[in-house]
Structure 1
Amino acid sequence: MPKNRRKEKRMLRKIKLTDNYVSTEQIRMIRTNIENTLSDYPTLLMVTSPNIEEQKSLISAKLAISFAEQKKRVLLVDANLRRPSLHRWFDIENKTGLANVIVHNEEVQLHARETFIPGLFLLPAGSPFVNPLEVWQSSKIKHAMSQWGWVYDVIIIEAPAFLSASHSQILADECNGVILVLRENDTKKEDTLLTKQFLERAEKRILGVIYQTG
């Protein structure tokens, strides 16, 4: 791909992150609700959907930017090891990341990358060649996330669709609350209710819902 074309694509992604491609006001309202609802420190949030992947990474990124605008030190984590995408929004390589931190018990600072947004750091998904069974162990996840809280004020995890990946439930267990992304004509009512039931049984609060139309 020509150099100018690559640069044009990078600029387009940045524009989508900072403009109203997804309602900035809706994102800020959810951020305010989180700030007014949670007294936990650090704030650990998971962004997921019942059964879709579309736009979830963009919404996670914009929510992380919204917190960084409040002078928070924010870690945005791509937990979608099979279909990682957050690194593309920030034009960051996905050579190492979450998989390396969990499997090898490494410091998050070794793999988190500072973005072009002051105070916002991205932990990419990392190597796709690791054994998933080595990553998605509750004890390992719990240990890692407890360490991140010493470094960051807000941790936002973009997780795979809740009903299609059991490890989304493992991640939810370690978070203070959940943001649900729904899509008109794509998200089934029964899937939304089932996701809600799972989260309620785990005593996890749904702190906001983003409903996409069109």
Structure 2
Amino acid sequence: MKMSMSVVPSVQRMSRPIGAILVDAGKLSAQEVEQVLQAQRQHDLRFGDTAVKLGLLTTQDVQHALAEQFAFPYLRASDHGRAMSEDLEAAYQPFGSAAERIRSLRSQLMLHWFSKTERRQILCVVGAQPGEGRSYLAANLAIVFAQAGERTLLIDANLRRPRIHDMFALNNRSGLSTLLSGRTGNEAIVHITELAGLFVLPSGPTPPNPVELLGQVAFADLLNSARASFDIVIIDTPGLSDGDDAILVTARAGAALTVARSRHTKVEAFRSMLAEMKSMGVVMTGTVLNDIPANRAVAS
């Protein structure tokens, strides 16, 4: 089954005064903008710093306005009309510590793995067991790549316990399962318009034969088409304890970022997963350990 995808246009950069952005957002009145400008001239401070000092704005207000000024896509809690999950921390809190750690991981992956010229554009997020944080990491990693201007596709290949559609508040009547079974085409891929450059292919309805679907040539064709159309492809997978799905997906993709959870993942199961992946020639790009004391995630 041959597939083609349209190339996503580049992110358009915008340049608007920060005061105008804050007025449009309802954070400042025109009179308050003038008050800030007068104080700014007197004290030789930046507009945002001055507004915070005057008690008119919070630091987060300023950060969000700057994000909009520089066309940096994010979500506001006040306008998530589709009720997207707050687990999308890189979108809701793009300047928080969790998002900063994920951006650091993005930098490492860009340096050591991703390369469109060498067709290294696909990465699976894998783990030994359910409940390790794979979907959280896959979704937020896709977001930070999109925020960096990369054309990014997030695929939910967990056809057993899918989460991505819930996180992005998507209808899951069509998706990967219906695409692979020939019931839908590329219209199953959803553009997340609030986060420019991010596209999501949800799992679709849970099939009775996930291993067989993922083992079809159609899945390999889908990945080849994605390589031609996107800069980055992130794939969420089920835990290896759920079956051979993750092995099939990762073998097709060629690279994996492994996830474990402190005081949850069994060491022997994790070691067995690593050995199986390596025996199939999968490139292991690193490991993220979730919920270590005093930190959300750490990469190695």
- Give the length in aligned residue pairs: 207
Alpha-carbon contact 1:99-1:130 (below 8 Å) kept: no
Q: CA RMSD in A?
A: 2.4
- Report the equivalent of 2:143: 65
Larger Rg: 2
Same amino acid, percent of matched pairs: 24
Task: Tell me which residue corresponds to 2:279.
Answer: 201
Aligned-partner residue type, residue 113 of structure 1: V
SS in 1 for 2:135: helix
2:99 to 15, 21, 24: 24
Q: Does 1:103 align with 2:181?
A: yes
1:134-176 deviation per Cα after TM superposition (whole angstroms, max 9, x unaligned): 5122423212211222221111110001243201111111224
Residue 144 (str. 1) matches residue 222 (str. 2):
yes
Q: Match for residue 113 of structure 1? A: 190
The 5 Å alignment of 1:139-178 reads 139-178=217-256
Comparing 74-83 with 9-18, greater Cα deviation is found at 9-18
Task: Give the conservation status (yes or no) of the 8 Å contact 1:42–1:153.
Answer: no
CA distance in 2, matches of 1:154, 1:168: 19
What whole-Å deviation, never above 9, does each CA across 1:49-79 have from its counterpart, x for those lacking one? 1112343211111000111112111110111
Shift in CA distance, 104/120, structure 1 to aligned 2, threshold 3 Å: same
Task: Return the offset for 1:8.
Answer: 8.8
Q: Name 1:37's counterpart in structure 2.
A: 112
CA distance in 1, matches of 2:209, 2:282: 28
- For 1:45 and 1:93, how far apart are their aligned partners in 2? 24
Query: Structure 1 residues 95, 22: closer, same or farther in 2, change over 3 A?
Result: farther
The structural deviation recorded for 1:113 is 0.6
How does 1:118-137 map onto structure 2 within 5 Å?
Answer: 118-129=196-207, 131-132=209-210, 134-137=212-215
Asked if structure 1 preserves the Cα contact closer than 8 Å seen for 2:254 and 2:281, the reply is no
Structure-2 separation of matches of 1:35 and 1:15 = 21
Deviation of 1:191 (Å): 1.2
Q: Which residue does 1:4 correspond to in 2?
A: none
Unpaired segments ≥5 residues, structure 1: 1-6
**Does the aligned pair in 2 maintain the 1:73–1:154 contact within 8 Å?**
yes
Whether the 8 Å contact between 2:254 and 2:283 is mirrored in structure 1 is yes
Cα gap change, 1:157 to 1:213, in 2 (>3 Å): same
Q: Which runs of 4 or more aligned residues in structure 1 lie more than 4 Å from their structure 2 counterparts after TM superposition?
A: none
Query: What are the Cα deviations for residues 67-114 of structure 1, in whole angstroms up to 9, with x where unaligned?
Result: 111211111011111211111111111110001111117543x11111
* In 2: Cα distance, 1:61 partner to 1:107 partner: 22
CA 1:93 to 1:130, structure 2 compared with 1: closer, same or farther past 3 Å? same
Match of 1:10 among 80, 83, 89: 83
Q: CA 1:133–1:37 in 2, change beyond 3 Å: closer, same or farther? A: closer
Q: Is the 8 A contact 1:160 1:168 kept in 2?
A: yes
Residue number in structure 2 paired with 1:3:
none
Q: Distance in 1 between matches of 2:172 and 2:112?
A: 34
| 8 Å Cα contact 1:98/1:123 also seen in 2 | yes
8 Å contact 2:189–2:199 — kept in the other structure?
Answer: yes
Offset at residue 14 of structure 1 (A): 6.6
The 3-state SS of whatever aligns with 1:82 is coil
| Conserved? CA contact 1:80–1:158, under 8 Å | yes
Structure 2 unaligned residues grouped into runs of 5+ = 1-79, 293-300
SS at match of 1:96: coil
> What residue is the counterpart of 2:133 in the other structure?
55
The CA deviation at 1:15 is 6.0
